[in-house]
Every structure is written in C-alpha cells, then in structure tokens.
Structure 1
Amino acid sequence: MSNPQAQDVIRCQYCEDKSAVFHCVPCGDELCPECKVFHLKSKVPSGHNIIRLSERFHPTNQVKICEVHLSKAYEACCEDCLVPVCITCIQEEHNKHAIGKLQELYEKQKAGTAEKLSKMKTLWKSEFTQRLLDFKEEENQMKTSHKIVRKNMKKQAEDFIGHISAIMNKCFHDSEEDERKQSEAISLQKMEAERFGKNIDLLIEKLESLIESNHPVDLILYRKKNPDIFNELKLPEKFDIVMPSFTAGHFNKSLNEQQFGKYTANHDSHDSHLKLCDDSLQNKQPTSSASKTLSIKTILGFSVKIGEAKTKKENLLYATCLDDRSAYISGEGPGILLIDRSGTELDNVSTDSKPWGLGVMQDGSLIYTDGSDKAIYSFSLSKEKTKLITTEHGPRGLCCIRSGDILVCMGLFNAARVVKYSKSGKKIQEFQTDQNGERLFIHPRFICENVNDDFCISDLNFMNNNVVVLNKSGNLRFRYDGNVVFKTLKEEFQPSGVATDSLGHILIADNANKAVHLISQDGNFLSYILTEDDGISRPWGISVDTSDNLWLVEEENTCVKVYQYLL
C-alpha cells in the first residue's frame, strides 16, 4: 500500500528529483538546497528572496498583484515615489527612478508606523479618554445650565403674568364701580317715573269722577282751584347712560421680547459639523429642493442581486443615474446594463472590454471609458456607438458637467490628471498640480460636479487615500481623508464612488469600512449615511438621481440598492 503522505511531498522545480526545502518569493519557485545555489545566480530586477518552504503562506510572503497591471506582481519599490512597482510599472512610469527592494522600504515604514502607533496608543488614547470624560462633564453642565435658564424664564413669565393680572384686576374694579353708579342712577330715574305714573293715575281718576258728577259745581270749583293742572303735567327728566367700552393696547413683540428677556444660545466652531447646508447654497439650490432636509437611512426602492438577473454581472463597480427611475451599471467583464428600481433590465449595451467609468450626457446619451484602448465611447439614445475621445493615458471615472463638457480621470503617479473635454471631444483644460506646483492626485478614480461648480475626485491609491475638491478653475479647495474627529475607522479610508446632491452634500463610498460618508461642500463631516450595520457590504460605485435618491452598487454581493436620505 502506498504512503498517503507521499502525495504531499513538493518536488524541486529544477531537478524534479529532490524534495523542495526553499521557496523564492519573487519567482515563485520551489527549490532543493543544491538548486538554491544555482537559482541565486540568476538575475531579476528586485533580487531573490529565499525563504523556508513552510513560510511561503505567511502574509508577508504572499505575492501581491499590481493594481495597474493585473497580470504582474509587485516585485520592487520605487524609492523616489515610495510605491510598490511591477516590471511593467518600472518600464512605463519609473524607468528613470531609483528602484529598491520592497522589504527594505517595508522595514523603514514599519519602524516609522510602529513609532506613530506607540504614540497613538499612549498620547492620543489617553487624550481621547479624557476628552470623553470632558464631554460627559460638559453635557451635565449644559443640562444643568438649561434647567436654570428655563427656571428663570418661568419666574420672569410669572412676574409678567402677575403684573398683567394686577392691571387687569384694576380695570375689572373700575368697570364694576362704574356699573354700580350707573345702576343707582337708573334706579332713581325709574323711581321718579313710577311716582309720576301714580300721580297721573290719581289725576285721571279724579277728573273722570268730576266729569261724571251730577252736580256741575264740583268740576267748576276744582278747575278754579287748580287752573294750571294740565300745563304742569311733565315727565321726569331722563339721563342718558354712556355704555362702557374697551380699547385693546398695541402688543409690540419686539418691545415685549426686550422687556421679557432674550435667550442666547452659545455656539462654538463644532456647529459646522451639525450644519446640513451652508448659507452660500441658498442661491444655488433648485426650488424643488429648497424644503428638503436630511433624514438618514430610509430605504426607498429595491435591493436586487444582478447576478441573478437576466444578464448576469459579477463584482459590480460602477453606476450612473439616467433619471429618478433608472440607472446604468457595470462590473467585471464587458457590457453595461440599464435597469429600473425593480431590477428589470431595460437595455444591454455591448462593449469590447470592461468599462472603467460611466456617465450620462445632457441629451441622455451614455458615455463610458475603455481602459484597454485608452478611449471614451458614447452610446446614443438611437443606439449608435461612437469613439468620442482617444486619450494619452488610461481613462477611468468621468462625468458630464452642466456646461456640457466632460471631465475625465486618467493616469497614475506623475501622469495622474483630470482632463476637461468639450462634448465634441476637443481637449480644453488639464488639472494636474495645485497653486504651489504640488501634485494633486496619485490615482484619480471617480469624479463628479457639485452645485457650487466644484469638482470632487476620489484619489484611491492605497498610500494616501483622499477625496480632492477643486473649484471650477482647478484650484485646490480642500482634501478629505476620512479622519473624522472623535470617530475611528476600522480600516484605512478607501474612497471609491463619489456623488453630490441638490443641496451640495458630497457623498463618498468607503469600500474598506463598508460605509457612505456625507460631508458638506466645504469638507466638514456631517454623518455616515450608511454603515455595515445597515446591511451594506463593500460599496463601490454610487450615484444620486434627479430626485436625490442614492443608488449604490456592492462589489461583493453584486447588489444594487436605492436609498432616500433627503425629505
């Protein structure tokens, strides 16, 4: 019976007779001790790195594939640019630079990182803990202060109410006193009128008896004695009663606020982190969005797994909205899908290779970059495909701005730039360095335009990842590196897709941390719209539609999700 362990023996790739004991990391060869000597005599740009065969699966000994040249492995480092490079990188971009060993650069950066890490654990950790305690104390003081303020307000209001009540009671007393006097006057007039009425009744009765008397002497004698009896008849004088009235005083709100007292809120510089929209945006906002406010994480539409749709797509990477009902998406491999919110496939655009960026022109035409032939293609609504632009460097993300021009991210390291083209394909302008001549980007990937005419570019280079924001003239406004005050990212910030909405917010997909950052147009962090706790996994491409809904594609789950975050 054969030994089952014999199948596990790895043979030397040179002599094929002896068991392999060593492994060369750059070459990937397994070697016996004798062949190791001959192998070391062969020359490679990065040199050989011989390790024990048992150590070949250690993370530090794994071969890393070049991000730019996917068929090549990182073999060395550029000492000028401080980046890992493959053979093709050296030939194309770094042929005049000093090339060194990866391990040496790693050891230098490892020592520096360890030193900074030690400071973080001691200095920053202790200060962060103390800051949390300060927050708690300030919160308690703030709550106590507000209670005292509200108590004083209530006492002031009670004083005002007491003063107003005193004025009201005096008015009530004056009215009641006038009512009493007027009632007495009316009673006297009434008594005089009743007495006059009784006298009239007696006189009428007397005269009627005299008229009806059988003897005429009685009437004659009575009239003789009372000659003016009819002339003296007169009703008692009547006094008119003036009815009361009330004229309300003028209530001046401003004056009364000064009399009552004014509440003053104490704001500090951190208010900018709570502000949803800068005042400067008011003249930029469309009227349809003027009443919108931020409401985080409200799922609006759908979550569709495109890998299960009619036309399968794997590892979704890019998305751009056509309107508020549909969006173009693409991933690994050729082809672009147009889908609606239900995940229904509306169109399937054929491409020769994998698209590296998607955009929509003002007339609704699709534009996309093709890195394989360094070109930008357009696909019209009449389904006519045209090579619109041929570029000097590999194009990636692109967008069509309000002027009708096209912005394109392209190049790597010293060749990294953003180029503006007219809609006919004529180069207009390039953005490569800032006002001081410093390089703006290392590897620009995604780009979009904001409502204030800024350009927002995600620079994902795995060395100094950030989002670069330029004004319309190409001058640097700020960089956002994801380091939010008092918030800790689990992984290094990895900005991929970037988008803006009608209120000027900048939305950034953070692939490594499985989150979507929301910042103001001036670079102030506002909130995480979505995190891993909300069920998203490795977001890559994002786009905001005409109704300010966020469309997000997930690289791992091959899903498209739509969220409403503005109400």
Structure 2
Amino acid sequence: MINVVNKMTTESEISELYELIEVFIQDNKEEIENEKLEDLLTKLREKITVYANMQEENQMQILARFFRFNIMLKKYEARVDYSKSSILLLVTFSSRLGYDLYKKDLENGRIGEQILEVFLYPPFLESFGLTADDIEISLNGRLLTQPKGSLKSFRRFDAMDPMYSLQDVIRCDLCETPVPPKYCDICHMHLCEACVEKHLSDESKDHYIVPLKLRGITPKCTKHSTEVCTQLCTTCNIPVCLLCVTSSEHVKHKKEDILKLFETKRELMQEDLEDLEKSIYPKYQEAATNIPIQRAHVSKWSKKLTTTLDKQGEALHREIDTIIQGMKSEINDMNAKQIAAIDRQQDAIKHTIPEIKQVILDLKRLLDTSDVCLVSGYTSRTEEFRSLPAKFQVTSLPTFTPQEINREQIHQRIGSLSELAITFFLDEPQILTDIQTECRYLRSVSCLSDSELWTSCYNDNIMRLYNLQGELLRSVQTKSGNWPWDIAVTRSGDLVYTDYYDRSINLVRGTHIQTLITLQGWRPHSLCSTASGDLLVFMDSDDDKQTKVVRYSGSTEKQSIQWDDQGKPLFTSGYFKYLSENRNLDICVVDWDADAVVVVSAAGKLRFRYTGPPSTPRESFYPRGITTDSQGNILMSEWDKNRIHIIDQEGNFMRFIHNCGLQFPWGLCVDSKDNLFVTEEYEGDVKKIKYYK
C-alpha cells in the first residue's frame, strides 16, 4: 500500500491506489441498490482518473477529497439524483438511521465541510482554470460561499494554502488551534483544552463539553424542543434534559450523566470485545480443533480392538462367528456412544461460535456509534460464553483378553470387553481444601489415605503427616539427618523416602526407620510405589553422566531402564526427576532438563515424550511433580507458569488446571476419589482440587 504520495509518486503507484478505490466500491455494491448513485460514482471515478494523472504537486489531495466525498454519500444509505449540467445532488433517504446520521452531520457542519473540502480545494479549481471567486456553493438553500466565492462560515478553509492537508480540517472555534480535542455539544463549537474554561465562563447559556469523537452524543429533548439531553433515565432507558429530570415523571428515577455512562459502557464493550477476541473465542476455536483428534483417537482404539477380535475369530473359524459378531456389535455400540458424546460436544461448540462471532460484530458496530440509547441498552454476554462446553474423556477404554480355544468353553475363551466409561472434567476445577503446613520449601506430597497425607520439604529433615484440617498428626526425622529428596507411601501404608546424600532408600514403619537399599556409584532422586508393591527409583551416577529407573522388589533389583532401542539414553542428566506408575503400568518420568515428560512401557520401551500442548506455540516447558489418576490420565505441574497439565495415557493433551490461584506448584498426588493434592513450594500450602464432575 502507498503510504506517502508526492510529486515523486510514479504513475503505476497512482494506478495501484485507484484500483484499491475501485475494489472498495465494487465490494460495497450490495449495500447500495441505487443505479443512479452507481452512475455517479462511475463519473467520479472517471474524474479521479484524470486528476490522478495530473503532474501537479497536489494531485493526490484531489483524489483523496473525491474518495472521501464518495464515502460520505454511501454512509447515509441515500438515493441520489444529480444533474448533468451542474453539480446538483438531490438526496432521498431509504432509512431513518441514514437520515439521522445525515441530520446530525448537517447540524455540526460536517456536510458543508465535506462539500467545501472537495470543490474549493485550489488545485482542483485550478485544473478547470477557476478560482474560489468564480463559483457559488449552496446547501439546502443556504449559501456556503460569499458572493465573491470566499468562505462564509467555514473559517478553517479560507487560508487556501496549496499544501493544505485533510488532517488539518478542524480548528478551535475560539483560538484557531488545529485539531481541538473537545466539543460543546450544546453550542456546537470545537474547543481546545485551553479554551474550555473560557467557553464555560459564559453563563448566559448551558454548555456540555464532550470529547470531539463523541460530538452529537446529546440528542434534542423530545418534550422540550429548546433543550438537549445531558442525562439518561436508566429506569426508562431514555435521554432526558434538565427539565425532564425535575419533572414528576422522572424525579424518582435513577439518572446518569450521558457522557459518563457512554464512556463506561464503551470501556465495558471494549473489554468484552478484547476478552472475546483474545481469550474466549480462541478457546472455542481450540476446542473445535480438538474434536477431530478425539474422533481419530476413538477410531484408533476401535480399530485396535476390532483387529484383535478378528485375529481370534480367524483362529476359531466358523464355530465362533456368531459370538465374534456379537462382540463386534458391542464395540460398535460403544463407538456410537463415544461419537454421540463427541457430537453433542461439537454441536454445543458449533452453536456457540456463531453467537460469539455475532456478539463481536455487534460490539464493533456499537463501538462505532454515538447513539446513547443503543449503547446504554448493551448487556454483556461475556460470562455466558466464558465457560466452554463440558469436555468428555473416555476414561476406561475397552480391552480384549484372548483365551485358548476350547470348543466346550468357546464363549468364555473368546474373552470379554470391559465397560465403556465416559467422564467429564469440571469446567472450572474447584479448590476443596487449602492445608497450611510448617514447611518453607514444600515439595513432595503422598496420600496415606483420603484424609491424611505425608509431606517433605527442601532443606528440612522432618517429614510431616497432616489431616485435611491442617492438623499435624505425626513428624519423623530422617535417619541420617539429611533432608529427604522424595517420599512415597507403599501399598501397605508405610512411608519410604530417598536420601540423596547417603545414597539410601529407607522405609519408615511405626517408629523404626529401616534402610532398604544403599547404592554404590549411584544416588537416588525420586521414587514411587507400584500396583504390584514394587518400588521404582530414579537415580543418577556419581559422575552425573548417566541416569536410569530401577525397579526393586524389597531390596532386590528386578529391572533397569536406561537406554532406548537405538542405544541412546532415555533420560537426561540433572536434577528434578520425578516419576509415577500409570494404571496401564507405564512409567512416567518428569525430565526437567529435557523439557519433557518421558513415558515408557512396563518393559522399558519408549512410548512417547510430552513437551507441551501441540495446539499452542512452542514455548518453554519445565515440569516438576507428576502423578496419575484412576482414569489413566497423567498430571504434571509446571512450576514457573502456575498450572497443571493433564494428558491421557497416549500422550494427548486434555486440559490445564490453571485458574485455581496456584503459586509455584510442585509435588502432586491423587486420592482414591481422584482429588488432586498440589504442594505450593514457597507458600508451604497443599491445595486439594476437584477436577472431575
């Protein structure tokens, strides 16, 4: 786009600007169902072409004035008749709104300004060999020019400066200061800041000062023709003048200053528009984009189950075709339920998105109007749209368990499909309890029961047991006096912890602390208890070059997980490695130095790495604590962004928990009801959060 036009502007650049004007007029044809107006615009375009190719210094000023004049004509939705022998326009209005806009602009002088701006511009007159003394201009029978062609009431044009620009149209009516920011809506005078007080000092008449952009905000009183309305009766939702305010009809009603009300509503609309455009609408868009992913995920699982059944069916041949078909039907039914749930979610989103778009368009239109009645009637719907439709998740995916073929027990040998379970997240996760502890740098938490939890802190060798009321039930000091790197509760209810500095894993049973394992050449970081009763321990080598996960049964090492199939390390070296076993027996490891959560199977094979939601721009991801719930979801805390990520067991992002006022979340655990416990490192609090319906 051409930003600056002067005598150095090339003919091709002028043509480019002309083409843009033509495109604008073409795009707005549907708004102007008036052949005569189209003919007029065509004639003006022909003139513009002539002026655009002139070689004088002010060629583009002429072009700009004609273009602005065209826009003014289109604005009033009017029928325009014109005479070919002279520039005579007869305007017939097709709507009340267009007429009201015209009338308001006529009263404040805008119509006259536009006409004089076009036809008294010196370079334009000179192109015809004329001067301002050679023409007369009238508007509704009122002469805008003196007999000699000089301006009568539009002083801001009489300089006839050949370098005069469109941006210098309006001046203060008292001191000629250009671009005055204020306007008296009763006296119809433009005022600079310095002249406002002087204007108000004239107490012989009323005044109402408004920002220039809001001129015309005070309508004429419908009951008192000599008065203007400077207040709004909010009870009746109509503008009222000072005489109306004291009348019996409105004396007991609530009134507000029109300007203050207008600006307050505009601020609200601007905030709502920004909130809708930048926050709410993008969330709906993101939710809509996740629908195909959910469909694909459902389809993937259905195909996996169907394939397994097919293999078993081929082995059993025709004897079990009937049973196989019956089980396929079960899968199809479950698939249909899932698709139906997705369709309901999609319908809710599709139904709401057009409403949001319409509200955005309405807000933009309201922000452009000065009609106080329309603006005052605005009611915000932002809170209505803020909460997305409830998300669902398949929390218990069907599985197929094949058996050996036995004709006598053929139905039982085929196996069975587990029940389909669909759960929904809460729209807004809820904080159920806020437990205050004595810890300063609170990191680890582990549930002993639904009502009791163990905690441990950085630089503190005391492990503490609290109830949900924040009462300290028990405290245990580490055997070595070092602070525990991590803690976990075993299936039998005992507490285990790692001592990084003396290389040990320890068991607390009653008042006795037993050292289960002492490592050689390695130091333990974090640990967790598994469904089978084993311990998984993350550790690094003394030279900080190697890391691994080791499975222990009691004090016996059963498994070591360190390398992928290409012989490369699965985990990086460094601090802040936490782990948890999922219900499908996957091992989920927070690898802070890799900006990832690494998930391996029970056999130690890499399944996936999660580095943040794929639908958001790539940004830093520094996970800390981790846990899993009964639905197979993986939850991890993002310490620096004060939020919790939730992904499913396949690594698909589900949602954030980020609106609970969390401050530097670290350790995580869940109870038997899938309530989440989160430690806040610097606050020393544990928050209990409900996130499922």
Structure whose residues are more often helix by fraction: 2
* Rg larger for: 1
The higher relative CO (CA closer than 8 Å, separation ≥ 6) is in: 1
